[in-house]
């Protein structure tokens, strides 16, 4: 085994990452400004989630406002997150692309109406896995040598800059106009809360609604479905 | 809602794209500063890191255990250091744990005695001659960290400190045997450098233990 020799990098961030960080910081600032909470989770490195939360709750720079951020305990992480995360929150996950719990949490957080930020290193998650993917592609040692810490320090710093620009904190205007749901081929993710016969009560970013299960067959609580015009049309494989 | 009637009001006064471009430039500049700070910390501390790693490897080889501690972000970094030593992806698993991990112990000590003893009292209970105490403090001046280092030395533990600001009070603590101090004046850059120093320390301990095994 050779562990020596991984020298600290001499350059800044990988191409594209500064822009990804800036975009994530603006969305995070907007959601915190609107009353959202930042939920932090790291199945493999819970200390990183705790470090992010303490940065926001108790800033090291005097005068910066304390903001609501919480590290989710790694025990039964998905169930705990399900109980806490509300539409308008942000869920920040730190983990590799191969971390099944991280992947499941990011996907479900979107169903719960939370914005998602995924920090990691090594092989990148598939495109669109989270709203904001902040990735160090080359080296998984980033979790241990200060570079993950750098990424969330920067996210914190940039979010506070955004919070000082009140005119930019209003949410982006919605782009959805009066479009027929059936004709628009809409397909939305939903998480099953409970079922009654061939009907399921589901949770979506917009709230709770009832959907018909005739096409997908029986479903159980916590299943993920794709719904279209009041019908569940596909069941997603559960990864964790 | 006013934005329905006056969609430009409040949002049209500033340009998000200009801010985002500024933020991206700032992030990259700070990342370069962080990389420089980490690189120069490792270079400046090389002899000290080598000496600390030698002492720690000998202590582990003789059955010693590692206790790490710090406050706030340094508490989480201490937990990361403990996890790196105890359950690394590659290399030997070594007995290491964070003294900030158990809220029952922390709150009992903080409530009944005071926050200044939350780490020292745990070393009083657990520490033995031949064990290792690693304290982290970005200012170098955290009273409960310094107190634990003093207690650790008193019971015969090897004492190692990670500090910023050139060491602060840690730099002049007579009970601290290995002071790994970085020079950065920013808490954030200090924590990033400390993490690089901790990682380098772990690599050196692993290499030394591997060398001892193959002898």
Query: Is the residue at A152 inside a domain?
Result: yes
Does one domain contain both A26 and A128?
yes
Residues A1, B11: C-beta atoms closer than 8 Å = no
Among A200-204, A223-227, B13-17, B61-65, the least confident range: B13-17
B203 at A interface, C-beta within 8 A: yes
| CA distances to B28, B29, B164, B168 from B41, in Å | 20, 18, 10, 16
d(CA A87, CA A132): 17
Does one domain contain both A163 and A78?
yes
d(CA B89, CA B138): 27
Residue where a domain stops, chosen among A168, A203, A223: A168
Residues of the domain holding A76 = 17-168
**pTM of the model as a whole:** 0.90
Does one domain contain both A203 and A153?
no
At residue B161, φ and ψ (nearest 5 deg) are -125, 140
Distance from CA of B125 to the nearest CA of A (A): 24
Does one domain contain both A208 and A146?
no
Does one domain contain both A156 and A209?
no
- pLDDT more than 90, % of chain B: 86
Listed residue (B97, B96, B99, B95) closest to B109, CA to CA: B99
**Would the pLDDT of A9 be above 70?**
no
Confidence of residue A183 (pLDDT cuts 50, 70, 90): low
Residues B73, A7: C-beta atoms closer than 8 Å = no
Query: Is the residue at A2 inside a domain?
Result: no
Query: Is the residue at A110 inside a domain?
Result: yes
Q: Given B3, B30, B35, which is nearest A10 (Cβ)?
A: B35
Query: Is the residue at A5 inside a domain?
Result: no
CATH code for the domain in which residue A57 is found: 3.40.50.10490
Residues A60, B16: C-beta atoms closer than 8 Å = no
Residues A12, B32: C-beta atoms closer than 8 Å = yes
Give residues 43 to 102 of B whose Cβ lies within 8 Å of A: 72-73, 75-77, 79-80, 83-84, 89-91, 98
Q: What is the predicted pLDDT for the residue at A61? A: 87
For the stretch B147-203, pLDDT in tens is: 999 999 999 999 999 999 889 999 999 999 999 999 887 899 999 999 999 999 999
Does one domain contain both A64 and A139?
yes
Q: What is the mean pLDDT of residues A64-77?
A: 94
Look at the domain B16-214 and name its fold. Answer: Rossmann fold (3.40.50)
Does one domain contain both A63 and A145?
yes
For the stretch B114-152, pLDDT in tens is: 999 999 999 999 999 999 999 999 999 999 999 999 999
Distance from CA of A74 to the nearest CA of B (A): 13
Q: Of B80, B94, B139, B205, which to mutate for an interface test with A (greatest number of A Cβ within 10 Å)? A: B80
CATH code for the domain in which residue A210 is found: 2.30.30.140
Q: Of A11, A19, A22, which to mutate for an interface test with B (greatest number of B Cβ within 10 Å)? A: A22
Report CA dihedral (B179, B185, B190, B194) to the nearest 10 degrees.
Answer: -20
Does one domain contain both A159 and A197?
no
Query: Is the residue at A6 inside a domain?
Result: no
Indicate the number of domains in chain A. Answer: 2
Query: Is the residue at A199 inside a domain?
Result: yes
Residue where a domain stops, chosen among A119, A137, A168: A168
Does one domain contain both A21 and A70?
yes
Does one domain contain both A26 and A133?
yes
Does one domain contain both A102 and A216?
no
Q: Is A25 exposed, middle or buried (0-12, 13-18, 19+ CB in 10 A)?
A: buried
B187 at A interface, C-beta within 8 A: yes
Q: Given A22, A144, A170, which is nearest B199 (Cβ)?
A: A144
Query: Is the residue at A4 inside a domain?
Result: no
Return the number of other C-beta atoms located less than 10 Å from residue A195's C-beta: 18
Looking up tokens 């920090």 gives A119
Does one domain contain both A231 and A139?
no
DSSP E strand stretches across A21-127: 38-41, 69-71, 90-94, 115-121
């Amino acid at each position: 085994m050779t562990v020596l020799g991984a020298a600290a990098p001499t350059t800044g961030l990988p191409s594209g990452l500064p822009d990804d960080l800036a975009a994530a910081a603006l969305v995070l600032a907007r959601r915190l400004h609107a009353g959202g909470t930042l939920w932090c989770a790291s199945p493999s490195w819970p200390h990183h989630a705790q470090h992010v939360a303490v940065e926001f709750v108790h800033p090291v720079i005097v005068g910066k406002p304390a903001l609501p951020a919480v590290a989710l305990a790694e025990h039964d992480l998905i169930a705990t997150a399900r109980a806490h995360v509300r539409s308008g929150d942000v869920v920040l996950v730190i983990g590799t692309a191969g971390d099944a719990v991280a992947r499941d949490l990011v996907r479900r957080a979107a169903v719960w109406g939370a914005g998602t930020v995924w920090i990691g290193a090594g092989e990148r998650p598939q495109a669109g896995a989270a709203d904001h993917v902040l990735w160090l592609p080359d080296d998984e040692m980033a979790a241990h040598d200060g570079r993950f810490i750098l990424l969330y320090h920067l996210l914190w710093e940039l979010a506070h800059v955004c919070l000082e620009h009140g005119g930019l904190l209003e949410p982006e205007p919605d782009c959805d106009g009066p479009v027929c749901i059936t004709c628009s081929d809409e397909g939305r993710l939903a998480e099953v809360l409970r079922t009654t016969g061939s009907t399921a009560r589901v949770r979506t970013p917009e709230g709770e609604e009832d959907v018909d299960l005739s096409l997908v067959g029986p479903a159980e609580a916590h299943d993920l479905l794709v719904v279209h015009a009041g019908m569940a049309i596909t069941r997603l494989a559960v990864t964790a | 809602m006013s934005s329905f009637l006056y969609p430009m009001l409040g949002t049209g006064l500033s340009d998000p794209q200009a801010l985002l471009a500024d933020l991206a430039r700032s992030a990259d500049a700070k990342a370069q500063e962080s990389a420089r700070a980490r690189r120069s910390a490792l270079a400046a501390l090389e002899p000290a890191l080598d000496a600390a790693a030698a002492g720690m490897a000998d202590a582990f080889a003789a059955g010693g255990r590692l206790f790490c501690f710090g406050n706030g972000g340094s508490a989480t970094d201490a937990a990361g250091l403990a996890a790196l030593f105890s359950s690394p992806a590659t290399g030997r698993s070594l007995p290491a744990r964070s003294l900030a991990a158990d809220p029952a112990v922390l709150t009992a000590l903080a409530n009944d005695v005071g926050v200044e003893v939350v780490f020292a009292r745990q070393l009083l209970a657990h520490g033995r001659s031949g064990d290792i105490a690693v304290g982290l403090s970005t200012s170098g001046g955290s009273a409960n960290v310094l107190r634990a280092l003093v207690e650790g030395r008193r019971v015969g533990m090897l004492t190692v400190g990670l500090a910023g600001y050139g060491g602060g009070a840690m730099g002049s603590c007579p009970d601290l045997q290995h002071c790994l101090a970085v020079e950065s004046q920013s808490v954030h850059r200090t924590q990033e450098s400390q993490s690089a120093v901790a990682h380098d320390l772990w690599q050196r301990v692993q290499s030394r233990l591997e060398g001892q095994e193959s002898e």
